[in-house]
């Protein structure tokens, strides 16, 4: 994938995720736009790597990767820097208030259309 494509995907993820947060929560934080861009790039890479696997497996792998990135970002922006961008401490089965199964399910639901509609390319192209 060319750098221009990566930048475009990143920007779609940044703007798209920030828009989803504003629609659902009424606000967002700039760090979430950066994380959204990184997540969409990650989902594209997973989709290419697992191109021959089923849609549900690709979406599950994407949700796991987004959850891991959410944990990493949360530990930095919420715990280390103390910005308080989100807090899942009241959610069941949360880990340090940064991730929880409920939001992992949301990431799965968001990964499905990405995997389905934006996979693109033939298998030979997906290896690049």
Question: Which DSSP string corresponds to 26-95?
Answer: S---HHHHHHHHHHHHHHHHHHHHTTTS-HHHHHHHHHHHHHHHHHHHHIIIIIIS---S---TTSTT-B
pTM of the model: 0.87
Give tens-digit pLDDT for 53-87.
Answer: 999 999 999 999 999 999 999 999 999 999 999 99
Is residue 99 helix, strand or coil? strand
Structure confidence at residue 119 as a pLDDT band (50, 70, 90): low
Percentage above 90 pLDDT, the chain: 90
CB 119 within 8 Å of CB 43: no
Q: Is residue 121's pLDDT more than 50?
A: no
């Amino acid at each position: 994938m060319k750098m221009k494509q990566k930048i475009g995907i990143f920007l779609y993820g940044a703007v798209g995720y920030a828009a989803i947060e504003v629609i659902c929560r009424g606000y967002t934080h700039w760090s979430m736009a950066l994380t959204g861009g990184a997540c969409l790039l990650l989902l594209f890479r997973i989709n290419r790597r697992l191109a021959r696997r089923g849609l549900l497996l690709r979406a599950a792998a994407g949700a796991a990767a987004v959850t891991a990135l959410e944990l990493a970002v949360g530990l930095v922006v919420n715990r280390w820097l103390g910005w308080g961008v989100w807090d899942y401490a009241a959610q069941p089965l949360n880990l340090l208030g940064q991730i929880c199964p409920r939001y992992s399910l949301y990431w799965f639901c968001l990964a499905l259309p990405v995997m389905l509609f934006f996979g693109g390319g033939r298998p030979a192209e997906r290896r690049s």
